[in-house]
Structure 1
Amino acid sequence: MSKPVETVPAGLESYAALDKRLLTAVRGINILATVSWPASLEDRMIEQYGKGQYTLPDVSYKTPDLSDVRKELAAIESEAGDGDPLGEYLRRTAESWRIAAEMLEAVGTEGVTGPSIRLYGSPGDAISGSDRSNLDAACYFVELSDELGADLHDDDITANIPAELLRADLARELDGFFGPGKIAVEVDNDLTAKAAAGATRIRLRGGTRFSQYDRHQLLNHEAFVHSLTALNGREQPLLASLARTSPRVTATQEGLAVFAELMSGAIDIARLKRISLRILAIDMALNGADFVEVYRFFNRCGQSVADSFHSAQRVFRGVPLTGGSAFAKDNVYLSGLMDVHTFFRWALKERRMDLLRYLFAGKLTLYDVMSLESHFASGVLASPRWLPPWMQHVHGLAGKLAFSLFINRVRMSRVEAESLSAGV
């Protein structure tokens, strides 16, 4: 493994300068904060919905003026060019932030939908290497979960861990892995999601109780992917932007995080159902369903009043609630998972485990890992300082992937129950 360089190599100063300009330009862009709803509104509406009083929430947004930011990002795109992998990385990253800026300047209108689909994809997009779509995959996991439901009721999944108790538990675990005080764990009463992670902070939604499954998922999804890749990105000597999640890397980063759940045994069929239902809900909204209809869809699928409201709210962040529009970010969890899973299998088949390690060196897409390979090999880009626990046991990971790679040759359409149970 090459030793990373301590300073910017001669001839690459222009890329470092553009990267610095990029980070300065996007400092004021905060996608989720711009499209989020006030916690007080959510609490009030959840109480009303619990009483059967279904009215559309009255949501207002503060529209940012990002015109100067868009101009600077367009200039960076032009100057970066695409003749070299580093330049192409900067151009693509600047472009995705510019699209995000356009999206946020349309907040509260149907103008959010188009840019969000450009950034995060749509339910109808085809799965890589398949003739099926994200929507097809979502339907499959929902149907399978429902069919297995009666057999899964004995699972002991009880949400009985208070947020404050989990906070203390996670803090101890992370101090032992990353070092004391490297990542703070906090309880946030205004958080919409159950949890959120940055480079140095993980937040848990206050007033929420968590299960052991939740704890396992938080460690492997939020801490050992989202926080880990951000911290590794901060170790980069040339591209400091690798520490920040640009819109274009969202699918890979969320897919990698869900894949981490899969590899560490932290995912269950109910979790796959939840992320699949969100894709179905995005499709419903795009086809005209309003907020109340999407809420009722989640509620019919077994979610509580509060969970149904929060799930519907994710689909309608930043867009009108009357139907025909959607915030498409939740499309990336399943599509990203399938792309990352395919990439890991491909890397094993090609005996390229080095590429899998590079994936954790910062906030990268699968394409970035391939195109920037020579810069990792030369040490211009630093290899990751931290790897998730399941990535540290390469033989175990290779065993799982090798079995997955081979077993996919078995065509289930040709399997009969009698052939599996026949005596010898």
Structure 2
Amino acid sequence: MIVRPFPPELSHFAALDQRMLAAVRGIRILPTVAWPASLEDRMIEAYSKGQYTLPVVSYQRPDLSEARAELAAIEREAGDDDPLGDYLQRTAESWRIAAELLEAAGTDGVTAPSVTLYGKPGDPIPGSDRSNLDAARYFVELSDELGADLDDDDIRANIPAETLRADLAKELDAFFGAGTIAVTVDSELTAKAAAGATSVRLRGGTRFSEYDRHQLLAHEAFVHSLTALNGRAQPLLASLARTSPRVTATQEGLAVFAELMSGAIDIARLKRISLRILAIDMALNGADFVEVYKYFSDCGQTPGDSFHSAQRVFRGVPLTGGAAFTKDNVYLSGLIAVHTFFRWALKQRRMDLLRHLFAGKLALHDVLSLEPHFASGAILPPRWLPPWMQHVHGLAGKLAFSLFVNRIRMGKVQGDELAL
């Protein structure tokens, strides 16, 4: 790829972008608030025997004062006369708030910056009079009505991590090119899987189901890794290769939407996502770690899954209740926002905006505001698109159908009318 020199007005933004990347190098959100796997193993064994005590977790709080000062300077210098300045200002601000969150690790001071970055269950859904909490309750109730059992997938989870690693590596080599993305097994990983630009990690000692396999490809590889790789190819904004806190909702929402579009999600998965939101609400309202664990357990999760689910809610905060790490709020709110954005773009006949969404780690706001720089070529279109995005007519058909049938109010439908 030949990179042309930037015009002077763009060089200013490219320089600020590089400064921002240097400033945020030490801001590592999830690693800072992660719990050691050895602690989890001991506590899961005790909890499975009914021995409930609050885990004792300590955190190394980083001193990020220099990073915060530099990010504040970038915010001032970026200005807001150009969409690039707006992008840099918003992104630097989100990293600065993340730094404040990490400096408060282990205290209830984590909650406020966490809510600023990821929202909270009671936040309203755009274009609706309902909240994210309402949506979570709806999917849990619907799952229960349909008889979805959270243990069903565990029963069919018979693929060892090493076997899945080899299988995914073969598929990703075929899609991205040999060696582009490495697939590894990590025994310290809290989540079942995690992805970056050049790697997908699987949690060691875990067995996976066929649903897990499809979900990991759609969610981790063909969204998280794919957008990171496309971001790395951007000549102007190198930060598009990194997930800043402000784009987390869009990135996770897009990844879950990808599961939906590729048929890699089921109602039990939606129930899991929704239960986490209800658990965040419980914690914010005073429930402690043990109470949240028992909530997940009562909802049908195994002792291990219940512990990991509760742990996600209490990362970085006191375990006695009244505080929460709210990142898991974004999976459902992000899914709803991305789904609405896809429907809106279809209605406007703007499939180009949907393709631009994969050009890097972008928020929905960026796709619209940076449109002039996509048009000029300063920001490149994505090299890779997920398989389901490569079939535009099929995608348009799915969205067009949902756009129409969503106008049908189920409360007005009578069963005997359908039978006729």
* TM-score, normalised by the number of residues in structure 1: 0.97
Name 1:175's counterpart in structure 2. Answer: 173
Name 2:119's counterpart in structure 1. Answer: 121
1:231-270 correspondence runs (5 A): 231-270=229-268
Change (3 A) 1:239 1:56: same
Change (3 A) 1:85 1:151: closer
Deviation string 1:379-401 (CA, Å, 9 cap, x unpaired) is 00000000000000000000000
Name 2:346's counterpart in structure 1. Answer: 348
User: Would the aligned equivalents of 1:5 and 1:380 in 2 still touch at CA under 8 Å?
Assistant: no
User: Would the aligned equivalents of 1:125 and 1:134 in 2 still touch at CA under 8 Å?
Assistant: yes
SS at match of 1:27: coil
AA of the residue aligned to 2:71: L
Deviation of 1:221 (Å): 0.1
User: Would the aligned equivalents of 2:150 and 2:301 in 1 still touch at CA under 8 Å?
Assistant: no
Deviation of 1:96 (Å): 0.1
Provide the rounded CA distance (Å) in 1 between the counterparts of 2:29 and 2:392.
36
AA of the residue aligned to 2:336: M
- Measured on the aligned residues, the alpha-carbon RMSD in Å equals 1.5
Deviation string 1:57-89 (CA, Å, 9 cap, x unpaired) is 000000100000000000000000111100000
Name 1:6's counterpart in structure 2. Answer: 4
AA of the residue aligned to 2:125: I
User: Would the aligned equivalents of 2:104 and 2:110 in 1 still touch at CA under 8 Å?
Assistant: yes
Provide the rounded CA distance (Å) in 2 between the counterparts of 1:76 and 1:402.
42
Deviation of 1:152 (Å): 10
Name 1:86's counterpart in structure 2. Answer: 84
User: Would the aligned equivalents of 1:347 and 1:356 in 2 still touch at CA under 8 Å?
Assistant: yes
**Which segment drifts farther, 150-159 or 261-270?**
150-159
Provide the rounded CA distance (Å) in 2 between the counterparts of 1:218 and 1:306.
20
Name 2:337's counterpart in structure 1. Answer: 339
**Does residue 370 of structure 1 match 2:371?**
no
Deviation of 1:8 (Å): 2.2
SS at match of 2:24: helix
Change (3 A) 1:301 1:4: farther
Provide the rounded CA distance (Å) in 2 between the counterparts of 1:384 and 1:151.
39
User: Would the aligned equivalents of 1:296 and 1:308 in 2 still touch at CA under 8 Å?
Assistant: yes
User: Would the aligned equivalents of 2:256 and 2:331 in 1 still touch at CA under 8 Å?
Assistant: yes
Provide the rounded CA distance (Å) in 2 between the counterparts of 1:109 and 1:414.
49
AA of the residue aligned to 1:109: T
Change (3 A) 1:68 1:189: same
AA of the residue aligned to 1:87: G
Deviation of 1:150 (Å): 6.5
SS at match of 2:146: helix
User: Would the aligned equivalents of 2:151 and 2:301 in 1 still touch at CA under 8 Å?
Assistant: no
User: Would the aligned equivalents of 1:113 and 1:325 in 2 still touch at CA under 8 Å?
Assistant: yes
Deviation string 1:84-103 (CA, Å, 9 cap, x unpaired) is 10000000000000000000
**Does residue 320 of structure 1 match 2:318?**
yes
What stretches of structure 2 of length at least 5 have no aligned partner?
Answer: none
Name 1:130's counterpart in structure 2. Answer: 128
Provide the rounded CA distance (Å) in 2 between the counterparts of 1:276 and 1:9.
47
Higher RCO by CA contacts (8 Å cutoff, separation 6 or greater): 1
Provide the rounded CA distance (Å) in 1 between the counterparts of 2:326 and 2:151.
32
Deviation of 1:238 (Å): 0.2
**Does residue 65 of structure 1 match 2:101?**
no
Name 2:228's counterpart in structure 1. Answer: 230
AA of the residue aligned to 2:304: A
Provide the rounded CA distance (Å) in 1 between the counterparts of 2:276 and 2:170.
33
Provide the rounded CA distance (Å) in 2 between the counterparts of 1:135 and 1:376.
36
- Percent identity over the alignment is 80
Provide the rounded CA distance (Å) in 2 between the counterparts of 1:223 and 1:407.
31
Change (3 A) 1:394 1:4: farther
Provide the rounded CA distance (Å) in 2 between the counterparts of 1:154 and 1:96.
39
SS at match of 1:88: helix
Equivalent residue in structure 2 for 1:300, among 294, 298, 301: 298
Name 2:418's counterpart in structure 1. Answer: 420
User: Would the aligned equivalents of 2:148 and 2:267 in 1 still touch at CA under 8 Å?
Assistant: no
**Does residue 77 of structure 1 match 2:108?**
no
Provide the rounded CA distance (Å) in 2 between the counterparts of 1:377 and 1:389.
24
* TM-score, normalised by the number of residues in structure 2: 0.98
Aligned length: 420
Deviation of 1:5 (Å): 5.6
Deviation of 1:4 (Å): 8.9
User: Would the aligned equivalents of 1:157 and 1:213 in 2 still touch at CA under 8 Å?
Assistant: no
Provide the rounded CA distance (Å) in 1 between the counterparts of 2:97 and 2:183.
32
Deviation of 1:153 (Å): 9.3
SS at match of 1:186: strand
Deviation of 1:51 (Å): 1.0
